[in-house]
Amino acid sequence: MSFHAAVRKPAVMTPTALPQPLGRPTFCLLPGVRLARNLESGTPVAVTADGRSFTLGMDLADLCRELAAGPATVDELVCRLAGRGWDDAAVRQGIVALVSRGLGQRVGRAPVRPKRRWSALTLGFFDPEPVCRRLGWWARALRGGWGLGLSLVGVAGQITLLVLLPASADGPYGAGLVALALLAVVIVLHELAHGVVLAAAGGHPRRMGLMVVYFLPALFCDVSDAIRLPRQAQVETALAGLAAQCQVGLLLAPVAWLGGPAPWGVSVFLSLNLVTATANLLPFLPLDGYIAVAAFLGRPDLRSRAVGAWRSVLHRRGGGTGPRPWLLVVFGALCQGAPVVVAVVVVVTLAVRLAF
């Protein structure tokens, strides 16, 4: 997770002692919120009591440090931060950003629950860290050269089996259940793989549960703690699930040797596994591929900036809002259209595979 607040600062600011009228609202950080830094870049990071992590701009990090020292009013914060270029409007804007994301609160009031978009409703019910620590030996096969090599072997093997195995709408009864059972196993291991690599890199997987993405239920593993780690570890954590999907898919394929509905079920499973892995790898969807690209570039806000640039060009009237980097605009347009395209491809692939 990440957010960056654009804070407006005046050109010149002279600190003055401001009187404190009675009844002024006082603000503080939520209990358990702590400040840390990325181990490689030194970028400030805020970590909540429940393990959510946010990258902070240097300005917001200054504001957080002042609030960490104790509750303060807006006027008090302006006095403390005036020498660093803050004014009343900037302080208020920064407080709104912290409160809205569950990092700060107004003293005497209940904390504001962070807003969740319809595409990211989550329900965590399992702490995966103990399991991920026990599976630490698996991390070597999921990251680095070993991970890449084994994943390529897994993809090649699945494609080969997909060509050889039968698939038809006239397949034996139960083939669909076989495919769904195998896919469920891969999905669980996919999410655990993220946590395994994060734990091996020195991070802490926080929770595992269900979420809603584009109105569809999905399993998730919270690995937001990776934001504190070097870029390579962040990229490896993001791609660990895909590596598991490529490797485990091949390991499950011998189920086809059982006969009966198994060969048809494995064929459908391999189709779904390869298509979903490819969709997960696309950087235009807010999934593993995008997270890996954003981590590699050191831009956790890449998608929001790109979509914002695309929308500003799309809805521009008259003079517009100034020039935009066209690569960013194109990326934003692809981010907007990719979900629909991928959904159509998945449905058509499944229909064709079952029909022929």
Position 6 pLDDT exceeds 50: no
Average pLDDT of 125-152? 92
pLDDT at 121 (0 to 100): 59
What's the CATH code, domain 26-106?
3.90.930.60
Q: How confident is the model at residue 54 (pLDDT cuts 50, 70, 90)?
A: confident
Non-local CB neighbours of 196 within 8 Å, separated by 6+ positions: 132, 135, 136, 138, 139, 142, 240
Does the predicted TM-score (pTM) go above 0.85? no
Q: Where are the domains of the chain?
A: 26-106, 120-355
Q: How confident is the model at residue 250 (pLDDT cuts 50, 70, 90)?
A: very high
* Cβ atoms 76, 91 nearer than 8 A: no
Q: What tens digit of pLDDT does each residue of 279-310 get?
A: 889 898 888 999 999 888 877 778 878 888 88
Place of tokens 């329900």: 123
- Report residue 39 as tokens: 């181990």
pLDDT at 339 (0 to 100): 77
Question: How high does pLDDT run on average in the chain?
Answer: 79
Q: Where do the H-state alpha helices sit in the chain?
A: 58-68, 74-81, 88-100, 129-134, 139-142, 144-164, 175-200, 231-252, 262-281, 288-297, 302-314, 326-355
Q: What tens digit of pLDDT does each residue of 84-95 get?
A: 778 888 888 888
pLDDT at 129 (0 to 100): 92
Amino acid identity, position 74: V
Percent share of the chain, pLDDT over 70: 79
**Phi, psi angles (nearest 5°) of residue 163:** -70, -35
Q: What tens digit of pLDDT does each residue of 11-32 get?
A: 333 333 334 444 578 888 888 8
